[in-house]
Amino acid sequence: MNRAGKAMITGASSGIGAVYADQLAARGLNLILVARDHNRLEAIAQRLRHTYSVEVSCLGVDLTQAAGLEQTLALLEQDLTLTMLVNSAGISPKDPVLESEEQSLAAMVNLNVNVLHRLTIRAAKVFSSRSLGAIINIASVVALMPEKFNGSYSASKSFVLVLTQALAGELALHGVQIQAVLPGFTRTELFERAGIDISVIPPDMLMNASELVEAALIGFERGELVTIPSLVDLALWRSFEHTRQQLAPYLSLQHPAPRYFNTPG
């Protein structure tokens, strides 16, 4: 990030995305801010231009609408100065799956999964062809603890984590960096938008978005593939990953394991 560059940030009108805008501008990156609320983006852009003397443009689009997504994908491809994509646009449900409307869960999966997937793949191809660039995907700790929250949301965030882990090897061959950030509860508008009272979250479990992004960017600058800002004991994550990798030789074999053989009588 020391070299001059430009970052496209989705979900930049509030919360984690808006803090990325601030902290990347502070590092001297020019920005493209993407979200639906154009007036809000423009107010953020004006402040960042004034404070950090960087170039900031705004794209007020709904990423779940075909036209808005296509416009964003086209910009990713056409702006030859882009060097980073931050996928932060996302929404959360309020209730458990069985108490949620199927349509609203589908709309959430569309933004959290389908939109992020299209943007990530397009950026991966574009940056790889230029042999530079970076992608930061905002997942969630519920990707690791899916039983603790709405299953559709947790699954959407597992998608983000797995996609990021899976692409890392391919991208590294082309000099492109990718990172998944796994926030825990973070003080943003996410809860209010979902209709969740943020005061029910124990304060010792709730991080400020600025602290979260500062830590995530330090992780990024150190080349971390997966950053879990809250996690003090990194050995826990390493041993979890080590155990997962150790499964590899046993996951695809010619015959089922002996415990699945029918025993006579």
Ligand X SMILES: NC(=O)c1ccc[n+]([C@@H]2O[C@H](COP(=O)([O-])OP(=O)(O)OC[C@H]3O[C@@H](n4cnc5c(N)ncnc54)[C@H](OP(=O)(O)O)[C@@H]3O)[C@@H](O)[C@H]2O)c1
Determine which residue in the list 23, 57, 64, 128 makes contact with ligand X, applying CB under 6 A.
Answer: 64
CB of 142 to ligand X, least distance (A): 7
Question: Which residues within the stretch 137-156 sit at the binding site for ligand X (CB under 6 A)?
Answer: 138, 140
| 15-34 residues near ligand X, rule: CB under 6 A | 15-17
Shortest gap between Cβ of 61 and ligand X (angstroms)?
Answer: 6
Shortest distance in whole angstroms from residue 126 CB to ligand X: 20
> Residue from 70, 170, 189, 241 that binds ligand X (CB under 6 A)?
189
Among 20, 157, 250, 260, the one annotated catalytic: 157
Q: DSSP alpha helices (H): ranges in 88-208?
A: 102-109, 116-130, 151-172, 190-194
Give the CA dihedral 234, 236, 239, 241, nearest 10 degrees: -80
Burial class (CB in 10 A: 0-12, 13-18, 19+), 252: exposed
Q: Specify whether the CB–CB gap between 179 and 164 falls below 8 A.
A: yes
Which is catalytic among the residues 6, 20, 52, 153?
153
Place of tokens 């983006």: 41
- Tell me if residue 157 is catalytic: yes
d(CA 152, CA 25): 34
Tokens of 120: 């990530």
Contact between residue 226 and residue 164 where contact means Cβ atoms under 8 Å apart: yes
Nearest to 61 by CA among 84, 79, 41: 41
Q: State which residue, 59 or 171, has the beta carbon closest to ligand X.
A: 59
When binding is defined by CB under 6 A, the residue of 43, 170, 193, 208 that contacts ligand X is 193
Span of 7-15, 21-29, 95-103, 163-171 interacting with ligand X by CB under 6 A: 7-15
Q: Return the residue of 58, 190, 213, 216 that touches ligand X, per CB under 6 A.
A: 190
Backbone angles phi, psi at 178, to 5 degrees: -140, 145
Q: Which amino acid is at 198?
A: I
Contact in structure between 138 and 86 (CB atoms under 8 Å) = yes
x/- binding map, residues 99-128, to ligand X, per CB under 6 A?
A: ------------x-----------------
Sites of contact with ligand X (CB under 6 A): 11-17, 35-37, 40, 62-64, 88-92, 111, 138, 140, 183, 185-186, 188-190, 193
Active-site annotation, residues: 153, 157
